[in-house]
Structure 1
Amino acid sequence: MAKHGDIRIGVSGWTYRPWRGNFYPAKLVQRQELSYAAHQFNALEINGTFYGMQVPKAFRKWTGAVPEGFVFAVKGPRYLTHMLRLKDPEPPLANFFASGPLVMGEKLGPVLWQFPERFRFDAERIEAFFKLLPHDTKEAAALAHRHDHRLRAPADYGDGVRRRVRHAVEIRHESFRDPAFIALLRKYGVALVCADTVDWPLLMDVTTDFVYCRLHGSVELYNSGYSDDELDVWAKRVRNWAAGKATDGHFVTGPTADGRKRDVFVFFDNTDKLKAPGDAKGLMERVGVRWDADFA
């Protein structure tokens, strides 16, 4: 029996022009970039769902391009988090789940909810949002049936198989450094994203049975790479998270060392200077993640 949870490491997004001829082979056609990236890493974040509503056809295309055992993390729409700021969240939340993520089946990993920098902790508004979040695909499909007229294509409610749906929240304002916020995350089984950057709070409280980490660059947001020593530190943290020994880091309520195995998702988002793919590979090597999918 494994002594630790599943460890998933990848990058945020995969469509970056500077990666062509660098991370991507020079003659690789653009339509094969997702497949290539998914054969290098065992998870990727989907960014397109953050910027605009998608359609089921897009989710099927993404799912069909990656190998078995691969998992996507899907970013929730900024329309809900940045424009509405979680006000009246049910219609856009229903639209999101009706727009196609449920067609991904076993390849649907956590849903990432990214809050804007000026969005402050509001316990009442946050809890109202958390109460609506579906925690399995049956609940998500039921919510999706309450979609409104804004869908861009007919709704898709998945295959009817009950699978877990996980949620993680990335905060970017100091007001969330509050035990009341951590308590809400734990009450509703939502992960607090460990976001490494000098621009936002770096918090590592473990709030549910998985850990979600985004490495944006420790010196310059989206730009700086990680040194060997820094990757060694993050590798130790990943191993400890997976084994239930989260004692190193920055906390609101303190470390968690309960020995409970946890799945860990780590995504590098320091993309501007081509650092993310190499850093992700370096972390995979350090924690012993072997992804042997052959790209044809």
Structure 2
Amino acid sequence: MSGKIRVGIGGWVFEPWRGTFYPEGLRQKDELAYVGAHLTATEINATYYSTQKPATFAGWAKMVPDGFQFAVKASRFCTNRRVLAEAGDSIAKFVNQGLTELGDRLGPILWQFMPTKTFDAEDFGAFLKLLPAQVDGISLRHALEVRHDSFDDPLFFDLARDAGVAVVHADHPEYPALRGHDVGFSYARLMRTRAEEPTGYSPDQIAHWAAMARGHGAQGDAYVFFISGAKVRAPAAAQALIVALR
């Protein structure tokens, strides 16, 4: 089952992108539309920090073209807790805040955990059972970004696979680069862009990520985001990958 490869960045409001990615003089309210015209996805960061209004999601959806998708970062109140099994109310509040207003622009939900969060099979298994398969009749896809070496455990990968949840592949100097099972889509966050490299990653590295994305795309939808590192280079890296995939 081949899928669509979407490539993007984290968010769209970042002052150093003005004049480097965004043209000089572009109005801030037009920045998301500019992202939509030049990339194929972005992560929504605001949802990690606070609840948004349904009208806000609807407005974002109208600013981007057909085919573009938003990955939605789940609320920190769901994931930054000692006992994940008690996150049910927070998860319900998060998924019911108006995500469905994104319509066909809704991509995966990213559940990001602190680097100090360690793997507890019973608690994590209980958390996965709390993730809804749909809201208001719209199917949801979930991706887990775990950042502690204890998750490099066959039991964790089996739990994620059985729940139909993707494991984020992170390229980061400190977090483990985990590779989960095929669950019909994949999610990568590439976080080692360098300021001295015009496209963040070298051409050879971009070619490597393109090959990875093609491999994942042969199995289902693939999402690749350039996030931290030298964040000012993230849009150039994403554009270089889009070119490499053509």
Q: TM-score range by the shorter chain?
A: over 0.9
2:225 maps to which of 267, 273, 277:
267
For normalisation by structure 2, the TM-score amounts to 0.93
The 2-side partners of 1:230 and 1:76 are apart by 29
SS in 2 for 1:127: helix
Alignment CA distance shift 1:229-1:262 (3 Å): same
How is 1:111-190 mapped onto 2 (pairs within 5 angstroms)? 111-136=109-134, 140-141=135-136, 162-190=137-165
How is 1:10-159 mapped onto 2 (pairs within 5 angstroms)? 10-83=8-81, 86-136=84-134, 140-141=135-136
Alignment CA distance shift 1:271-1:218 (3 Å): closer
1:198, 1:218 within 8 Å by CA — same for their partners in 2?
A: no
1:111, 1:165 within 8 Å by CA — same for their partners in 2?
A: yes
AA matched with 1:287: L
Alignment CA distance shift 1:279-1:185 (3 Å): same
1:55, 1:99 within 8 Å by CA — same for their partners in 2?
A: yes
2:210 maps to which of 232, 235, 245:
235
2:112, 2:146 within 8 Å by CA — same for their partners in 1?
A: yes
Question: Residue 41 of structure 1: CA displacement?
Answer: 0.8
2:148, 2:176 within 8 Å by CA — same for their partners in 1?
A: yes
Which residue of the partner structure matches residue 8 of structure 1?
Answer: 6
Alignment CA distance shift 1:93-1:278 (3 Å): same
For normalisation by structure 1, the TM-score amounts to 0.78
Which residue of the partner structure matches residue 200 of structure 1?
Answer: 175
Question: Residue 271 of structure 1: CA displacement?
Answer: 6.1
SS in 1 for 2:128: helix
SS in 2 for 1:168: strand
Alignment CA distance shift 1:63-1:103 (3 Å): same
Question: Residue 267 of structure 1: CA displacement?
Answer: 0.6
- Percent pairwise identity: 42
1:182, 1:207 within 8 Å by CA — same for their partners in 2?
A: no
The 1-side partners of 2:139 and 2:85 are apart by 26
2:194, 2:230 within 8 Å by CA — same for their partners in 1?
A: no
Alignment CA distance shift 1:67-1:129 (3 Å): same
1:63, 1:104 within 8 Å by CA — same for their partners in 2?
A: yes
Alignment CA distance shift 1:265-1:273 (3 Å): closer
* Max Rg structure: 1
2:85, 2:126 within 8 Å by CA — same for their partners in 1?
A: no
SS in 1 for 2:138: coil
Question: Residue 205 of structure 1: CA displacement?
Answer: 2.6
SS in 2 for 1:23: coil
The 2-side partners of 1:88 and 1:272 are apart by 36
The 1-side partners of 2:239 and 2:222 are apart by 16
SS in 2 for 1:195: strand
Query: Structure 2 stretches of 5 or more lacking a match?
Result: none
The 2-side partners of 1:278 and 1:171 are apart by 26
Question: Residue 96 of structure 1: CA displacement?
Answer: 0.6
The 2-side partners of 1:219 and 1:194 are apart by 19
Asked if 1:191 corresponds to 2:159, the answer is no
1:190, 1:207 within 8 Å by CA — same for their partners in 2?
A: no
The 1-side partners of 2:191 and 2:229 are apart by 8
Question: Residue 165 of structure 1: CA displacement?
Answer: 1.0
Question: Residue 26 of structure 1: CA displacement?
Answer: 0.5
SS in 2 for 1:199: coil
SS in 1 for 2:86: coil
**Deviates further, 78-87 or 57-66:** 78-87
SS in 2 for 1:274: helix
SS in 2 for 1:94: helix
SS in 1 for 2:43: strand
AA matched with 2:215: N
